[in-house]
Structure 1
Amino acid sequence: MSLRLGVLGAGMIASGAVGFLPNLKAIRDKVEVVAIADVVPGLASAVATTFGIPAAFTSLDAMLAGAAMDAVLNLTPIPAHGETCLRILAAGKHLATEKPLATTMDDADRICELAQERGLTVVCAPYNMLYPDRAEARRLVREGAIGKVAFARVRSSHGGPASGAWPADPSWFYQKGAGPLFDMGVYGIHEITGILGPAQRVVAFAGITEPTRTVRGGPFQGKTIDVTADDNVLMMLDFGASTFAVVDGTFNVNAGRGPKLEIFGREGTINLSGRPFGGEGPVLEIFQVDAPGWVTPELPDGDAVLALHRAVLVDHLADCVRTGAQPVLNLEHARHVLEIMLKADESASSGRAMELSTTFSLPDGCE
């Protein structure tokens, strides 16, 4: 029996070419989209007509009351994640949510507690640890292929939504409660902790590079945005035993040619190019001091995963609900990533390294 899914949020993440709805068609044997809701008048109805969704609503509460669903996909803006995730779980629905899990630790803790109390499955973006190159990097590190890890460099930024032809008003990305740390830094933090494991401390620098941004393209070209969120964040994570990682989370990387992620060990180096989201060169390369040159290992076939684009998150939820397996994209990992981001903000304000209290584990065999 397929998972009956309601979608909360009908914007570009739901309906764009690499978004959820166009790509959920590939797993219609697993997932049936039965409803969609959005607070923008007429938007849910229009998207429902385009994608053949039976029911459209103007609020989450109306959808929860009016549609028979097993799960909800939460595509609300970042500041609304915590409150809407809690309401979805309180209604007894499994949950797939865009990143980050929430914007406060109180909400994240309550989400974890409520999911456990109700016996509900939750998966949280980013999806990168489902990709074969990330899983292979984790396996190589765990098996000692590059020896003891000394440090990693992680690029987790782009130029910001105002730097290109964003199809909607990008102003909210630059306001307090959003910003590049929650929007982009979350990817790099998720990846490096997914590969190396939980961090123990974080120290960060953050600031606003320019007080205003001008939208460079799209329907809001020329609009001036007042920037109130830090748009330039650099973090260092301490994993213990002298293993560190530098992660950026900014709206200031308009182009980059280096690897997205580099892991330097005493016996070698692992490079990840960043594809399918940009980057050049092989998807994964490894250099070992006792072997000749760089090697590109053969990876498991990941075409089916990559072809789903964002819909891979819902595919993962459906598989975990059906089999009872612990998600790779699990709640505890998402909560740990959130704590790192919040403590990074606190570190930047206070000038102190901040201890982390959360931890997580990934299921055996996720490599």
Structure 2
Amino acid sequence: MVSPGPESWHPNPGFLYEEGAGPLFDMGPYYLSALVNLLGPVKRVTGSAQIASPERIITNPANYGAKIPVETPTHIAGVLDFASGAFGSLITSFDVWGSELPDIEIYGTKGTLSVPHPNFYDGKVKVRRHNRPGFEEIPLTHGFTQNSRGLGVMDMAHAIRGGREHRASGELCLHVLETMHGLLLSSREGHHYKLQSKCSRPEAFPTDLPEHALDL
């Protein structure tokens, strides 16, 4: 997730440059939750983080010209080692004017899986198989392919009624939060960070869940 930062469009972006925010804590939960759903929990992280500029200037009309002190890293690069044996890389930044990087790609022994931005709840899923040329779009098998931001709450309600654990559990949230903190600690202290928390990989949603279930 790389961008030039929120000061061009957000009317009050100062809090996003305070400690506890920045691109990692702002957008990292979307990406890391998606990766844990795809690959399972993380066991170790290694990070490098820096503040590119100690001050940002608001360029949106609401507070044009106001200066923002930067208190948290604005460019973070990390390596994630998953308990499953997979490993991956994560970049979150407010210091990039433009990029053609993919949102999320999974590289396997028999091909590449490309999935869309986890913040928008829509987009194409594509695969490049090892024995076929180019990427092919995969037909979507589930509903809720538009802006379904109430999906986690809906699943929680169904889980409580059915006596099961909901997918956006406290266990998952703690694991994602520790992963982000671990990346900054790794950068600050100069060593790998081994996660203390664990979580289960959430089960996939059923394909026959009716879209009107969101009305609950």
**What range is the shorter-chain TM-score in?**
0.7 to 0.9
> Which structure has the highest helix share of the two?
1
How has the CA–CA distance of structure 1 residues 218 and 186 changed in structure 2, closer, same or farther, with 3 Å as cutoff? farther
2:160 matches 1:348: no
**Are 2:25 and 1:186 equivalent residues in the alignment?**
no
Matched, 1:283 2:124: yes
- 2:49 is the alignment partner of 1:206: yes
Q: 1:182 is matched by which residue type in structure 2?
A: F
User: What's 1:299 paired with?
Assistant: 140
Distance in 1, matches of 2:119 and 2:193, equals 33
> Normalising to structure 1: TM-score of the pair?
0.51
RMSD: 2.4
Residue in structure 2 matched with residue 160 of structure 1 by the alignment = 5
Deviations 1:233-277 (A, max 9, x none): 111001257521100122124433332001111111001232773
- Paired with 2:204 and 2:115, the residues of 1 have a C-alpha distance of 21
Matched, 1:324 2:163: yes
Give secondary structure in 1 for the equivalent of 2:10.
coil
Greater relative contact order (Cα < 8 A, sep 6+): 2
Query: What are the ranges of 5 or more consecutive residues in structure 2 without an aligned counterpart?
Result: 207-216
For 2:6, the aligned partner's letter is P
Structure number with greater Rg is: 1
| Post-superposition CA distance 1:111-134 (Å, at most 9, x none) | xxxxxxxxxxxxxxxxxxxxxxxx
1:359 is displaced (CA, Å) by: 1.3
Structure 1 unmatched runs, 5+? 1-155
Equivalent position of 1:360 in the other structure: 199
The correspondence of residues 125-274 of structure 1 with structure 2, limited to 5 A, is: 156-162=1-7, 164-167=8-11, 169-240=12-83, 243-274=86-117
- Match of 2:3, as an amino acid? H
Note the C-alpha offset of 1:365.
Answer: 4.6
Equivalent position of 1:50 in the other structure: none
Question: What SS does the aligned partner of 2:19 have?
Answer: coil
Relative to structure 1, the CA distance from residue 221 to residue 321 in structure 2 (aligned partners, 3 Å threshold; closer, same or farther) is farther
SS of structure 1 residue aligned to 2:154: helix
Q: How many residues matched?
A: 206
Identity %: 29
Contact kept in structure 2, 1:270 and 1:285, CA below 8 Å: yes
